[in-house]
Amino acid sequence: MAAETTQPEMIQADARLMQRIAAGDGTAWKDLLDQQLARVVLLVKRMLHDQQEAEDVTQESFLRLWQQAPRWQAQARIATWLYRVAYRLAIDRLRQRQQAHEEPLDEQEESSLPLMPTLDSPLAKLEQAEEQRWLQAALHALPTRQRVALLLVHRLDLSVREAASVLQLSETATASLLARGRAKLRLLLSPFYHSSAGN
């Protein structure tokens, strides 16, 4: 059984991929798009709640990555670098909205996590839809960075260290964000689960 790939090995593999991209290897660029495009769109769309803006930010993020290829250094994974750039660009869009509409930043963001697996019975579907409404409302109540930290770690499978790099925080601060976010979600969702248990 092959040993699990380590973080340094993944960083070196990404560096080799970027060398191929810098040399004009179209297959390498396609491989990168296949690996990361949908994930970056997911992150940005969850922040902006707008498909067109999410696509614009994603395109800008990948353009910056392509421009960075000749200068790429094996210090981080491509995914971490991309998420950091996409996060910053999305935050800029949200600030522009805030200034234009004079609305709080968090009210401009989509706050849903991926839907639960679909169930067959109509009653189960109704319960699932109700749970999603509670979940989205609870996530909407979280501060921006707590919400993004949860998405990076629990949906995009980044380590706490990588999420810290995206958010430009220390690992301790990121772990604290995650802990506070999880605790607040549990608190906000407890009425739903208590009411469900009573039915």
- Give residue-wise pLDDT tens across range 163-178: 999 999 999 999 999 9
Which residues belong to CATH 1.10.1740.10 in the chain? 1-106
What pLDDT score was predicted for residue 142?
A: 81
Cα 12 to the chain's mean position, in Å? 23
CB 22 within 8 A of CB 31: no
Which residues belong to CATH 1.10.10.10 in the chain? 111-199
Residue 182: which of 158, 153, 146 has the closest Cα?
146
What CATH number was assigned to the domain covering residues 1-106?
1.10.1740.10
What pLDDT score was predicted for residue 113?
A: 37
Residue where the block lists tokens 């906000």: 188
Phi-psi region of 84 (alpha: psi -120 to 50; beta: other; left: phi over 0): alpha
Query: pLDDT tens digits, residue range 6-52?
Result: 888 999 999 999 999 999 999 999 999 999 999 999 899 888 888 89
CB 139 within 8 A of CB 182: no
Q: Domain 111-199 classified CATH 1.10.10.10?
A: yes
| pTM > 0.85: yes or no | no
CB 191 within 8 A of CB 137: no
Query: pLDDT tens digits, residue range 122-132?
Result: 444 545 666 66
